[in-house]
Amino acid sequence: MAKTMIEKIIEAHCKRSVKPGDVVDMGIDVRLARDFGGANVVKNLESNNLELDDPERTFFTFDCNPTGSDQKYAANQQFCRTFARRQNIRIYDIDKGIGTHLAIDEGLVAPGETIVSTDSHANIMGAIGTFGQGMGDIDIAHAFAFGRVWFRTPPTIKIILNGKPGENATAKDITLAILKKFGAGGLLGYTGELFGTIVDSLSLDSRITISSMATEIAGIILFIPPNEEIIGYCEKAVGKNISGVYPDPDAEYVKVVEVDIDGLKPLISQPGHPDDVVSVEEVKETKIDSCFIGSCTNGRFEDMEATARILKGRKVAPGVVLKIVPSTYRVWKHCLDKGLIKIFVEAGALVGNPGCAGCAAGQIGQNGPGEVTVSTGNRNFPGKQGQGDVYLASPDTVAASAIAGVITSSDKIPSEPVTFKVVPVAERREEKLFKKGKGKKPVEVEGRAWVITMDNIDTDMIYHNRYLSITDIKQMEQYTFDNLKGYEEFAKKAKPGDIVVTGKNFGCGSSRQQAVDCFRSLGISSIIAESFGSIYERNAINSAMPIMIAENLLSKVKDGDIIRINFQTGEIKNITSNESLKAQPFSNVQMDIYQRGSLLKKEI
């Protein structure tokens, strides 16, 4: 039977034939934990008396806060260092850069292999034909201990790029075109495979940009079949011959989606939603305060070259802050050797040490209330890169805008920068602490419904990244929905036993376990949604947080209704309206984990 890339890779790592929907026990070649998730991974291992499966395949990468500027991050990093010394685990410490990029450049993983990380953009590995997956702390602890994780084989969508982009369009613009076509949840539960006349000519750096944003369309991963150049790069990094994995010519896809990029012009995502994509022309001359170039999406050397080409001989507009952060030390050093850093500094930019930068609230790149930023990051959810508004664009557009003082494309930089008046910054809201009670986890629960009629509620809205250094679950409850407009006081008003009812793609975005644990901390008895973000679904199941999927849910339940749920049968009874509906009952895997209390618990 003809196979897709994901099916071939999974079959090779579980030693059996698979088809979409099959749940398998999949071997993991490489296991990574970052600085914010690493401490929880270690705590999960130690609290469950688990040993490492293979220290040589296990790594820590400190990329979220390379400066250790936050005391809690610094404490977590040192906690992981101490564990790593005892276990003889290699650490790519704060001087090395983004872990997923290191995995490629340092040859930790090869095409056709598997890798998991606490980074939700581990699917960046699709750029080299490797299966990468972002997972939560429990999953990664399990991979550390057993070298395997359970996984549901996803169906695959074939994506075809038609045409040739315009002269000023870049890989980021192609990525935004794909994002606009699919929307925030368009690849939810699916793997993508990318084809088209332009695809084979894409460089590694361009492939990384495109694959890195599969998460923003809710995809499992977006594979770009490797060409000879990619195979050669990986062979040099790994130090061995590589054949790669490719789809069969007659592989079965659930559907084929064509994306027209012929004559494509520079694109930009408007604040709040990565998929709210328009042409740069539509928002030109929007006054900006700051710019950021970096992240796992656009921190490669080609991105730095493009930036230097535009900045050379020019100055950043008065009052505008430009922050540049290369993805890895190798990229940073190459920039230094080639004179790029000199160009950046002379233009008036701040250059940071390698890492995730503002994307992970770690080092530089965050903005303040009222601040307007143009960024090369992958997400612009409210609060993700700070308290201001964030537009997403290519390095070319960001660099050009930094010079202009307003949003513009690289071919339309004005002769004189646009200046602006300083706008007072609003005070930050003072956080409040609330109390909770403990909820139980029976097979059947009954409680008051909190109906949130929204789709694509991301993890930053559920549990903001400024609290990611918190590892004590008892402290998490107070921040639940802290960043979701209209629900800022949810933690104060929610009661143990309440049930959250919401729309599609709930929990999209980051791999953070805290976005699940905050509900557990509050005593929320269940979350029912029309669909969940892929990583979020795993995190909830693995931590025994009861979640269920039900279609047309929001038409059957109103805010404040009392509902009864049976996890085993999937029956939902609206006690208030005397109506019934059906949800997907727990799978055997979910019920087993739920009854044990965690994926990592050995016994019920």
DSSP string of 100-113? Answer: HHHHHHTTSS-TT-
**Alpha-carbon distance 181 to 592, whole Å?**
38
Domain end position, chosen among 354, 382, 404: 404
Residue 362 in this model has a pLDDT that exceeds 80: no
Domain co-membership, 581 together with 494? yes
Structural domain includes residue 439: no
527 & 389 share domain: no
Domain stops at, among 404, 429, 462: 404
pLDDT, residue 420, reads 58
Residues 533 and 572 in one domain: yes
Average pLDDT of span 230-259: 97
517 pLDDT above the threshold of 90: yes
Question: In angstroms, what is the C-alpha Rg of the chain?
Answer: 23
Does the pLDDT value for residue 399 go beyond 90?
yes
- Whether residues 304 and 252 share a domain: the answer is no
**Spatial contact of 418 and 285, defined as CB atoms under 8 Å apart:** yes
Mean of all residue pLDDT scores within the chain: 93
Identify whether residues 207 and 286 lie together within a single domain.
Answer: no
Does residue 290 share a domain with residue 255?
A: no
156 beta partners = 191
Q: What is the pLDDT of residues 26-65, one digit of tens each?
A: 999 999 999 878 999 999 999 999 999 999 999 999 998 7
Does the pLDDT at position 67 exceed 90? Answer: no
Same domain, yes or no, for 378 and 508?
no
User: Nearest Cα to 139, choosing from 37, 57, 213, 55?
Assistant: 37
Q: In Å, how far are 46, 230, 456, 581 from 459, measured between CA atoms?
A: 27, 33, 9, 27
**Strands (DSSP E) found in 163-233:** 191-196, 221-223
Name the nearest CA neighbour of 215 among 101, 123, 327.
123
Q: How far apart are CA 374 and CA 245, in angstroms?
A: 37
CATH of the domain at 304: 3.30.499.10
**Dihedral sign, Cα of residue 475, residue 120, residue 537, residue 273:** positive
Number of neighbouring beta carbons within 10 Å of residue 423: 12
User: Does residue 432 fall inside a structural domain?
Assistant: no
Residue 430: is its pLDDT beyond 90?
A: no
pLDDT 10s digits, 563-601: 999 999 999 999 999 999 999 999 999 999 999 999 999
Average pLDDT for 544-557: 94
11 located within any domain: yes
Element (H, E) at 579: strand 579-582
Q: Of 387, 183, 185, 396, give the one whose Cα is nearest residue 271.
A: 387
Among 260, 293, 323, give the residue marking a domain's end.
Answer: 260
493 and 568 housed in the same domain: yes
Residue 94 lies in a domain: yes
Three-class SS of residue 449? strand
Provide the pLDDT confidence category of residue 544 given band limits of 50, 70 and 90: very high
Domain containing residue 570: CATH number: 3.20.19.10
Q: Within a domain: residue 269?
A: no
pLDDT band at 535 (very low <50, low <70, confident <90, very high): very high
Asked if 52 and 107 sit in the same domain, the reply is yes
Q: How far is CA 595 from CA 534, 543, 585, in A?
A: 22, 11, 14
Which helix (H) or strand (E) covers residue 305, if one does?
helix 301-311
| Closest among 246, 195, 224 to 104, alpha carbons compared | 224
pLDDT in tens, 314-350: 999 999 999 999 999 999 999 999 999 999 999 999 9
| Coil, strand or helix at 562 | strand
The distance of Cα 525 from the centroid of its chain, to the nearest Å, equals 26
Q: Over pLDDT 70: what percentage of the chain?
A: 95
Residues 527 and 381 grouped into a single domain? no
Count of domains forming the chain: 3
* Same structural domain, 184 and 295: no
437-453 pLDDT tens trace: 344 578 999 999 999 99
d(CA 43, CA 242): 36
- Main-chain dihedrals φ then ψ at residue 333, nearest 5 degrees: -65, -40
d(CA 575, CA 538): 29
* In a shared domain, residues 299 and 364: yes
Over residues 300-306, mean pLDDT: 98
Residue 425 has a pLDDT of 47
Each as own residue / partner, the long-range contacts of residues 570-577 (CB below 8 Å, 24 or more positions apart, any chain) are 572/528, 572/548, 575/446
**Terminal-to-terminal C-alpha distance of the chain:** 40
* Domain of residue 526, residue span: 444-596
184, 221 contact by CB (below 8 A): no
- Has residue 528 got a pLDDT over 90? yes
> Picking from 152-166, 167-181, 217-231, 455-469, which range would have the lowest pLDDT averaged per residue?
455-469
Q: Is residue 558 part of a domain?
A: yes
In a domain, 411, yes or no: no
